[in-house]
Structure 1
Amino acid sequence: MTDGHDPAGGSRLSRRRALGVLGAGAVGALAGCLGGGDTVGSLPERGDQELLADVESFPNQGNQHVQRGTTVDYDTRPPTSGPHYSGTVSAGFYEEPQSMGDVVHTLEHGAVVAYYDPEAITEAARSDLRTWARSFTGTWQSFLAMPYPYSDPETAYTLTAWRHLLRIGEYDEAAVRAFCAEYLGRGPENPVR
């Protein structure tokens, strides 16, 4: 059988192409499970260091699970590591603060959390943060945005990842992209980037 024809009713070449398409689809599906559909563009391997110059890095406060309802005093506001609950917060744009015990576990999973001051957020920032939250939805690299959970936010926007924090006075999509490129998917529980 050297003519590329399959006696069962198709050509081997067509089947190879079909398998190639199926293989590409499986890779796409896997990418979707890990990081969601990336409509904000592919992230570079690392963030622009100039835009990350003001990132604060903190010691690891631990990653032990504590019973839901346990009060945890975090060393940073908002927290960047420490004891947490066993639940996580799904990717999304939230109008209300979420449980910090679950947020910290989400950070451990490789999430980036963007906090915003509800009094200062612009419509452009709201739209962009929603796009980020829809684009990165995977268990090990998700993006969520929520109101700053404490009174008197220090800045209009604060980005956090496990052990890292960046405060920005005005919304800057390039800074968000740089922060995500540097830290998204790189949590200690199961780094995927």
Structure 2
Amino acid sequence: MTDGHDLAERSSLSRRRTLGVVGAGAVAALAGCLGGGGGDTSLPENGDPDLLADVESFPNEGNEHVQRGTEVDYGTRPPTSGPHYGGVVEAGFYEEPQPMGDIVHTLEHGAIVAYYAPDALTDEARSNLQSWANAHTGTWKSFVAMPYPYDDPEAPYALTAWRHLLRMDEYDADVVQAFAAEYMGRGPENPVR
């Protein structure tokens, strides 16, 4: 015969196993439904033009692969195209900057890379960025969030896609969704949308 403590322990274990099986994206979606999540991470066909009015577009700086460790002087800060390494950065929310040569290749694959200044990162922004990174993990359609790789960013937040940059003075989840809707999965290497 079991007592109430054993039943509660088994029930808790069962919930943990269930959450482990459904995956991070489903957990993020479930958290959003319960009110603790990071907002809407759906991907409309295109972004709202009014929310994208400040997007800057740049010429292609090239897409050739260079040897890992090669210093590349990118024409935009953060970079939006140019020579890059052969590796990519997996979708995720990162506490440390990732190698720029890999980040640029990730952009070429159709990713959105969101940058944040750690001292400006709000709980709402962190939660929303994590939700995007958990919900969009495909090779050709992913979301990466990381701190700026330099100390003096032009704005607390920036969104990048291949050849496109949007700086934000404050975090706006609707703008993030519009930017992702417009550019995610539309990189030059293998556009999937």
Class of the TM-score when normalised by the shorter of the 2 chains = 0.7 to 0.9
Q: CA RMSD in A?
A: 1.2
Matches within 5 A, 1:3-82: 39=29, 40-82=40-82
How many angstroms does 1:151 deviate by?
Answer: 1.5
Q: What corresponds to 1:160 in structure 2? A: 160
Query: Contact 2:93/2:146 (CA < 8 Å) preserved in 1?
Result: yes
SS at match of 2:180: helix
SS at match of 1:167: strand
> Are positions 1:120 and 2:93 aligned together?
no
Distance 2:95 2:169 in 1: 20
Distance 2:95 2:67 in 1: 26
Q: What corresponds to 1:147 in structure 2? A: 147
Q: Could you tell me the percent identity over the aligned residues?
A: 73
Structure (1/2) with the larger helix percentage = 2
Distance 1:104 1:156 in 2: 20
Distance 2:70 2:83 in 1: 9
Runs ≥4 residues deviating over 6 A:
none
Distance 1:101 1:168 in 2: 24
Q: What corresponds to 2:135 in structure 1? A: 135
- Cα deviation digits, residues 78-101 of structure 1 (max 9, x gap): 000000000000000000000000
AA at the equivalent of 2:174: A
Paired positions, count: 158
How many angstroms does 1:150 deviate by?
Answer: 1.2
Distance 1:41 1:132 in 2: 6
Gaps of 5+ in 2: 1-24, 30-39
Structure of larger gyration radius: 1
Distance 1:146 1:41 in 2: 18
Query: Contact 2:42/2:177 (CA < 8 Å) preserved in 1?
Result: no
Query: Contact 2:136/2:143 (CA < 8 Å) preserved in 1?
Result: yes
AA at the equivalent of 1:147: P
SS at match of 1:106: helix
Superposition TM-score, scaled by structure 1 size? 0.80
Gaps of 5+ in 1: 1-35
How many angstroms does 1:41 deviate by?
Answer: 4.4
